[in-house]
A and B are shown apart, each in its own frame.
Chain A
C-alpha cells in the first residue's frame, strides 16, 4: 500500500482531527458542511470525485454504453487498430476492446468494493476488540497484526491465492485478507482514542456490558474514520487485484478484467499496442481517481496539510 495509508493512520488517530471526521456528531451540521466544502474546494478531490462517479456510471450502464458484448468474438477484424466502429481497436479474437474495457469497469468496482469490505469488516473487529480488551488479548492481537503488516500485502495476497487457487473471487478475497492488518491498526488506534472519552467512561460507570460498550458505544464512533480510510484503500485494492489477474492468479480469460486483458494481450502488443494501452490506462485512471479523492479527504481533515 502507499504512503497515503500510512499518513491516513496518523490522521484518523489524531484526537483533534477526529471530531471533524465524525462530522456533525459533536458540534452540529456546520462541520460536515465545512468538511464537504474543504473536500470539493480541493481541485484534485473534485476531479477524483467526478472520475469515480463516471466510473460508477459506466459500470452501471455498461450494457447500454458498450456497442458489443464483451465476449463477442469476431465483432471486428482481428487486431484491427482503433477506428470509428471500434474506438479502442480489436483484440486477437476480434473482440471490441472498447466494449471490453467498459464491461471491465463493473469487475473493477466489484473488486474494489468486495475486497475493501472484507478487510474493513475483519480489520475493524480485530482493532476494536484489541483496543477495547487491553491486557494479553490486546498484545496477542496487535502483535500478530504487526507481524502481518511487516510483510507486504503482495506477499499475503500471494499466500492466500496459493492456498485458495487462482480465480477472480479468490483474488478479491486474497486482496481483502492482505489489507486486514492495515485496517486493524487504524481501528485499534481510533478505539484507543475513543475509550478515553467521557461518554465511554460514563457508559462504563453506568454499568454497560461488554457487548453494549463494544457495539453500541465504540463501534458507531470508529466507523466514520474507517470509511474515510477505506476510500483511500480502494485504489490499493484495485491495483493489487489487477496485478494478480495480470500474473494469471486472478480473473481468467475470457473475463474482461483489465489486468487479465493486459496479460492475454501481451503476446500481441508489438503488432497491436492498443491492446495494452487502453486496459492499462483504465486501471491508472481508476487508481488515480481514488487517490485524488482520498488525498482531498485527507487534506480536508488535516488542516496542517491544507496550509502547506
Chain B
C-alpha cells in the first residue's frame, strides 16, 4: 500500500512539474508581443515602461533561464504581481480560494448525496418506472448547461419569489450556486452509481450472501454497497475536478467572489501573471484532492491494500 501511495505522490510531483513548465511558457504562446497586449487597455504607458516590464518578467532572457527564474520565485511563494493594481497574485488567489472551495465542496456534497441515493434506488428498482423516471431526469440533468440552470434558479428564487438574494458572498448566497453546480453533477453520479451497482448485484459474492440467508439490508449495505462504491469514489475524484471547472462558470452567474470569477476578469484584462497563478493553483488543488481520494480508495478496496 505504501508503494502504491509513493507511486501516486511521485506521479503528482511530475504533474506539477509539467504544469509549471506549461504555465511559465504560456506567455510565449500569445500571438504578438505579450507585454504590448497586456498593456493595450492601459493609457499612458511609454515604450520605456514596457521594456521595464519585459525585463522584470524576464522575457528578454533565454527560455531555460526564464523557467529557472520563475521556479525560484514560485518556490519562495512569489507568483508575481497583477498588471493592473500591482497586487501580489498569491495574496489575491488565497483570499478567494476558500470561497471557491466552499462552493465546490458544498456542491459536491449535494451531488454525492442526491446522486448516490437516486443511482442506488434506480439500480435496486432496475427496469421499473422508478428507474426509468430517475434515469430520464438524470440524462436531462447531464444535458443542462450550468449557466442556464443558474439563471433559471435566480429568476424563480431571487427575482420572482425573492426568497434568496441575487448576489453577494454570505452563506445565504451560497445556496443557489451550490445547488446549480451540485444538481447537474448529481445526474452524472446517479448514472454511474446505477450501472456500478447493477454490476455488483449480479456478482457471485452478492448471490452467495443472499443464498446463505442474510437479510436484504445486510446484503445491500455490507456486501453490495461497499463493492459498488469503489468505482464511484474514483468518479467522485474526477467529479471534483469537473466541478472546480464548473465553478468558474457558476461563480460568474451568481457573482460569487471566488477564483473562477477573478480568472475570467484576468482573461479579459489580459493579466497574464494572474492567469498563470490561477492555473498553477488550480493544478495544485486538483492534484492534492486526487491524492486524498486515492487514500480513500485504498481504504475502500482491500485488493489494493494487500497488493
Interface residues of A (CB under 8 A from B): 1-4, 6-7, 44, 143-144, 146-147, 150-155, 158-159, 161-166, 235, 239, 242-243, 246-249, 259, 262, 266, 269-270, 273, 276, 280, 283-285, 287-288, 291-292, 295, 305, 308
Contacts and interface: CB of A to CB of B under 8 A. Distances in A.
12 contacts: A2-B142, A143-B18, A151-B241, A151-B286, A155-B245, A158-B248, A249-B264, A270-B159, A273-B155, A287-B145, A291-B139, A308-B199
B268 A248 contact: yes
Interface centre among A166, A249, A308 (most CB of B within 10 A): A308
- Main secondary structure on A side of the interface with B: helix
Contact of B279 (A159, A239, A283): A159
A113 B142 CA distance: 21
Nearest to B261: A247
A1 B142 CA distance: 10
B198 interface: yes
Given A154-B242, A158-B264, A287-B143, 4 more contacts: A158-B263, A158-B267, A163-B29, A305-B195
Interface in B106-159: 126, 139-140, 142-148, 151-152, 155, 159
B188 interface: yes
B279 A292 contact: no
Nearest to B188: A3
A305 B286 CA distance: 31
Contact of B249 (A153, A246, A273): A246
B15 A150 contact: yes
Nearest to B154: A269
A249 B268 CA distance: 8
Nearest to A273: B155
Nearest to A276: B151
Contact of B188 (A2, A242, A266): A2
Given A166-B267, A280-B152, A154 B248 contact: yes
Interface string B260-296: 0001101110101001000100110011001000000
